[in-house]
Amino acid sequence: MHLSIWDFVVVAFFLLIILSVGLSYTNKAGKDLTSYFLAGRNLPWYLAGISMVATTFAADTPLAVTELVNANGIAGNWLWWSFLAGGLLTTFFFANLWRKADVLTEVELIELRYSGKEAAALRGFKSIYLGLFMNVVIIAWVNVALMSLLEVFFELSHLQAFLYTGLAMLFVAVYASLSGLLGVVMTDVIQFVIAMIGCIVLAIFVMTSEQIGGVTGLKTQLNAIDPSILNFLPTVGSGGGVGTTLGLSVAAFFTYATVQWWASWYPGAEPGGGGYIAQRMMSAKSEKDAVYATLFFQIAHYCIRPWPWILVGLAALVLYPELSGDTAKLGYVYAMRDFLPNGFKGLLLVAFFSAYMSTISTQLNWGSSYLVNDFYKRFLRKNDSKNEDNQQLVMASRITTFIVMVIAFGVTYQLDSIKGAWSFIMQCGAGLGMVLILRWYWWRINAWSEISATIAPFIVIGFVYIIKASGGASEATMTFLDTFPNVFLITVAFTTVVWLLVTIITPPTSQEKLNEFYNKVQPMGNWTPFQKAGGENGTMGYAVLSWLLAIIFTYGVLFLIGKLILMEWQEATIIGAIVLVSFVALSKTIDKTSIFK
């Protein structure tokens, strides 16, 4: 046991505040499904944006960053930094469209965009596939991260940590089920602020310790291990681990930079927006709020959050050199245990609980929205016009929240690897991303396009599994299959060919449905048969330019903060100038796009 009575007081006080804030929104959430799942479509951009950031800051996030830094130094973070282009694509090309669509969930968009029984079948399938299957896998991997923390901090057995995690999830389910999205968002704001303060405090204590000796001491010790640890950009064409030349293979770098961000479905970074990110955009009170919320999210997600985690991850290389591979993530937890005084341990434990609860509360609310709105209401109960039906649907949503919680708890016990769950989800969505993007921008995409792109990855997954399970594959074949990004790129290519062929040979969505969708959403792109003269396509060039400038600006801010922290003033000055120029240019081009019209 490594906590004092003051640490427990801090934790108890925090839990009481969260419960009180969450429950205070019970009445507002209980009006109807729009109030429960979209906060009445009245969120200002800053609340929606902070909620997005808080949700993507889970209990596993600092641990995962520590593991990435252990394996490949600062540049190891390109595994997730590479998603920035896709995230900003959502900002400039999709955020306003999601708000215009006026749907309750991402899955409901399917029947707004496509026609026929195939559209209904796709909506029903995805409500279960995303709302239950994928959702409980995500919740389970977040639970596994919390369990790792509890095992170290409280010296618990794996079973004990599992049971305490179940209690934590039950606590979240109580306030999330009663307060709806509005309560989730308001608690997200509190949780994000506390989580960031806790992480910054830990970084300060670790960096100022005698073992590290500040930034100068850390850089000296890391240079003695491997100078490339401090590189912001990967060394392309090499690879290994600490003590060797750090870097990425050419194929891996190519995949991160040019393929992964648009090709793969991944929670919080869905191409074209989706999931709980789409939920927040649809909850915004205006199209402008939806755009600003996602823009703030991208900047905060990539620039504000990571550096306290990276610093501790770098320090862990010095402090705990025995950690590597799957155990590397524990360096963050050990730093918490070894360097925080009484009271501050409670603060950082609260920070982790905050990160955990913000993610779990969103996943429970978001998953329930699919199961209730897109399966139960759509296929089992079709009339909700009466007030009593609205109340009944809200009650069904609250019950469903607990059902999802119980199933996720069971999956948690079976999940051994956070990395394994991440890889599985990435593989399941490989190649689907382009369909999710083009359904807004090309009228010829139909329900069969999306159905085939959803199924195709599993064909490759099954084929690879059969090869591995047969035991007859050569060592070279097994190495090829286990090396990223070989199978991923094959899956993307196969899925792309499949959905393109299916799109060509199947009939398009009905003219009536396409007219309805275009008139309501007014998307840019190839909608020539439905456009009026002088449509929105004239602003496409400015949207692309704004997107590129925003990428330069956001990466610039990310690297600028890092260079300032590491006291590399010359590089910071150059990057700062790039940031300034890109910001000025962006501010002039963004108003010429159609995203606010």
Helix (H) or strand (E) holding 547, with range, is helix 540-565
Q: In this predicted structure, which of 200-214, 395-409, 458-472 has the lowest mean pLDDT?
A: 458-472
Q: At what angle do helices 45-56 and 275-283 cross, to 10 degrees?
A: 160
Quote the tokens at residue 485.
Answer: 């990004």
Least confident of 146-160, 244-258, 394-408, 450-464: 244-258
* Rounded Cα gap, residues 179 and 365, in angstroms: 10
Q: What is the structure's pLDDT at 12?
A: 87
Reported as a pLDDT band with limits 50, 70 and 90, residue 124 is very high
Q: What is the pLDDT of residue 248?
A: 67
Residues 499, 453: Cα–Cα separation, whole Å? 5
- Residue 528: predicted pLDDT: 83
Which tokens sit at 428?
A: 């399941």
pLDDT of residue 237: 64
pLDDT at residue 422 in the model: 63
pLDDT band at 314 (very low <50, low <70, confident <90, very high): very high
Angle, nearest 10°, between helix axes 306-319 and 540-565?
40
Name the residue among 34, 42, 54 with its Cα closest to residue 284: 42
Average pLDDT over residues 170-180: 93
The H-assigned helical ranges of 154-271 are 158-207, 214-225, 250-258, 260-263
Q: Are 354 and 194 in contact (CB under 8 A)?
A: yes
Percent of the chain with pLDDT over 90: 57
Q: Identify the pLDDT of residue 329.
A: 85
Using the predicted structure, report yes or no on whether residue 46 has a pLDDT greater than 90: yes
Q: What is the pLDDT of residue 424?
A: 72
Please count the CA atoms within 13 angstroms of the CA of 156 that sit on its side-chain side. 16
Q: Could you give the CA distance from residue 554 to residue 577 in angstroms, rounded to a whole number? A: 13
Judged against a pLDDT cut of 80, whether residue 382 lies above it is answered with: no
In whole angstroms, what is the distance from residue 399 CA to residue 389 CA? 15
Most confident of 50-59, 406-415, 433-442: 433-442
Q: pLDDT-derived band of residue 579, with 50, 70 and 90 as boundaries? A: very high
CA geometry: angle at 509 spanning 508 and 511, to 5°?
105
What does the pLDDT read at residue 417?
Answer: 56
- Arithmetic mean of pLDDT, 28-37: 90
Tokens of 115: 């026609």
pLDDT of residue 389: 73
**pLDDT-derived band at 597, boundaries 50, 70, 90:** low
pLDDT band at 351 (very low <50, low <70, confident <90, very high): confident
Check pLDDT > 90 for residue 549: yes
Dihedral (Cα; 21, 27, 33, 37), 10-degree rounding: -10
pLDDT of residue 481: 83
pLDDT at 245: 39
Do 597 and 120 touch, CB atoms closer than 8 A? no
The pLDDT, as a whole number, for residue 532 is 64
How much is the mean pLDDT over the chain? 88
**Given a cut of 60, is residue 238 above it in pLDDT?**
no
Calpha distance 418→45 (Å, rounded): 32
Type of residue at 382: K
Residue-level pLDDT at 82: 87
Residue 206: C-alpha distances to residues 30, 237, 352 (Å)? 46, 33, 17
Residue showing tokens 């940590």: 161
Any idea what the Cα angle at residue 23 is, between residues 19 and 25, rounded to 5°? 135
- Structure token pair of residue 68: 């990435």
pLDDT of residue 240: 45
Res 596: pLDDT: 61
Alpha carbons within 13 A on the beta-carbon side of 386: 6
Higher-confidence position of 251 and 419: 251
Q: Is the pLDDT of residue 68 over 50?
A: yes
Measuring CA to CA, which residue among 9, 54, 1, 72 is closest to residue 350?
9
CB of 468 closer than 8 Å to CB of 478: yes
**pLDDT score of 535 more than 70:** no
Tens of pLDDT, residue by residue over 393-431, are 999 999 999 999 999 999 888 776 555 566 677 778 888
Task: Give me the pLDDT at residue 533, please.
Answer: 42
Give the range among 133-142, 149-158, 404-413 with minimum mean pLDDT: 149-158
pLDDT given at position 534: 42
Residue 476 in 3-state DSSP? helix
- Nearest in space to 314 (alpha carbons), one of 581, 68, 29: 68
- The answer to whether the beta carbons of residues 567 and 215 sit under 8 Å apart is yes
Please answer whether residues 379 and 82 qualify as being in contact, where contact means their C-beta atoms are separated by less than 8 angstroms: no
Rounded CA Rg of the chain: 24
Binned at pLDDT 50, 70 and 90, residue 465 comes out as confident
Where would I find the beta strands (DSSP E) of 350-499? none
pLDDT higher at 488 or 257: 488
